[in-house]
Amino acid sequence: DAGVIQSPRHEVTEMGQEVTLRCKPISGHNSLFWYRQTMMRGLELLIYFNNNVPIDDSGMPEDRFSAKMPNASFSTLKIQPSEPRDSAVYFCASRTGGPRQETQYFGPGTRLLVL
């Protein structure tokens, strides 16, 4: 199994530009999570999906952030327009559904730098 796949692995962009991060969850997993990690705030949940449906987006910082999951094998996190304070590592994670199916498998992350 290839694990959770994220692209790009690194992204450097200028303030005001649109950024799109991509994630392919592990096949058969029906929950997908987007996290952001910074030194100041640690690992924060942004949004999660069950069966491609957004369940909780209360962690999305503001309207500049949006996430979609058009099918079971693909999700995107978009930032438009990007700002320097968005610089962070963004992780995607997936897991199977059901009780006690708690293990979230994390992708390698996308390191985003907004200049």
CA distance 74 to 32: 10
CA distance 18 to 82: 6
Residue with smaller CB distance to other proteins, 59 or 81: 59
Q: Which residues of the shown chain bind other proteins in the complex (CB under 8 A)?
A: 31, 41-45, 48, 50, 55-56, 91, 99-100, 102-104, 106-109
Residue with smaller CB distance to other proteins, 81 or 108: 108
114 DSSP β-pair partners: 13
Residue with smaller CB distance to other proteins, 81 or 87: 87
Q: How far is the CB of 74 from other proteins (least distance, A)?
A: 19
Q: How far is the CB of 37 from other proteins (least distance, A)?
A: 9
Q: How far is the CB of 45 from other proteins (least distance, A)?
A: 6
115 DSSP β-pair partners: none
Q: Which residues make Cβ contacts (< 8 Å) with residue 33, sequence separation at least 6?
A: 45, 47, 48, 49, 92, 93, 94, 95, 104
Q: How far is the CB of 16 from other proteins (least distance, A)?
A: 28
